Amino acid sequence: MNILVTGCAGFVGFHTCLQIFKKYKTANIIGIDILNDYYDVNLKKNRLKILIKNKNFFFFKKDISDKNISKIFQKHKIDYVIHLAAQAGVRYSLKNPYAYSKSNLDGFLNIIELSKKFNIKNFLYASSSSVYGANKKIPFSEKHNVDHPLSLYGATKRANELIAHAYSYMFNFKTTGLRFFTVYGPWGRPDMAMYIFLDAIFKNKKIDLFNFGKMSRDFTYIDDVSIFISEIFTNINYSKKKFNFPNNSKAPFQIFNIGNNNPCNLFDLIKKIEKKTKRKFKINLSEMQKGDVRSTYADIKNIYKKFKYKPKTSIDIGLNNFITWYCEYNKINL
């Protein structure tokens, strides 16, 4: 079995590769990543060092919009695609919008087109809770309207879903989208709140709490995401019935929320971090930033009904694991 994982040196991609190797001892993973400098490249390289220790891992430093990736599909006879590469970040999209069109639009189209061309068995891709945008209904359900994104990042992720649907409908091509909700954990992204907070408290820096701290996030532990992907990417059934999705479709197309289903208020998170690190935060309360949302909260009924998915890691256990890794990686004594 040959699996292409784009964004293999990224946070979710790295953990997904590890879990696939645990479950499928003889699987080959063909990893693609551009190793850009959106955040610390050394962190990506260190993840990659772990992956390349496995003899069944083959790495290509490529931009996902590069048409020559077709040669990789052809040479390695790809069976499945797990497309996790993207330009991430809501706030960064305000500064560098063209990075999002190149990666999240051109890149996505290139990978799905090649997947269709080479008859991939299933195309699984990362979407985001950001697609819910201005939606006011809580918790966020796949049934809710997602036509009002509040950031360019969210808009590109919604565009990915629509492109996937078009391919599913036109070519009878199987696609599965996963809307991730604030994934965190060991080897996490330095641009995410959890990592930013740890950095600040250990380096005695101020943290900005936007919307004056009146925000909550459905923090989802990385193992609850990566293990799930490794377990279902080869075993997704499409009955061509109407799915619980806006503009229901009979195409072999599905989208699921993947979240913790238990949002945590930022002030509560801060208290937990202070207690575990035995330190105090310096806090700067600020107004809401453009493109941000006050709360995220995943309705996971659909993914439970289909796969019996239920997150296993509480915020306390996940946070403890993350802090332990952070201190070991950065050589900090608690």
Active site residues: 153
Residues 149 and 227: beta-carbon distance below 8 Å: no
Give helix 193-203 / helix 266-277 axis angle, nearest 10°: 40
What gap in Å lies between CA 165 and CA 27, rounded to an integer? Answer: 28
Using an 8 Å Cβ cutoff, are 257 and 296 in contact? no
For 215-243, b where at least 16 C-beta lie within 10 A, e where not — what string? bbbbbbbbbbbbbbbbebbbebebeeeeb
- Between CA 123 and CA 110 the distance in angstroms is 13
Question: What gap in Å lies between CA 74 and CA 113, rounded to an integer?
Answer: 14
User: Distance (Å, rounded) from C-alpha 333 to C-alpha 142?
Assistant: 43
| Tokens matching residue 270 | 């801060």
Which amino acid type is present at position 257? Answer: N
In what order do the strands lie in the sheet containing 122-128?
A: 57-61, 28-33, 2-6, 80-83, 122-128, 175-180, 253-258
Separation CA 123–CA 134 (nearest Å) = 28
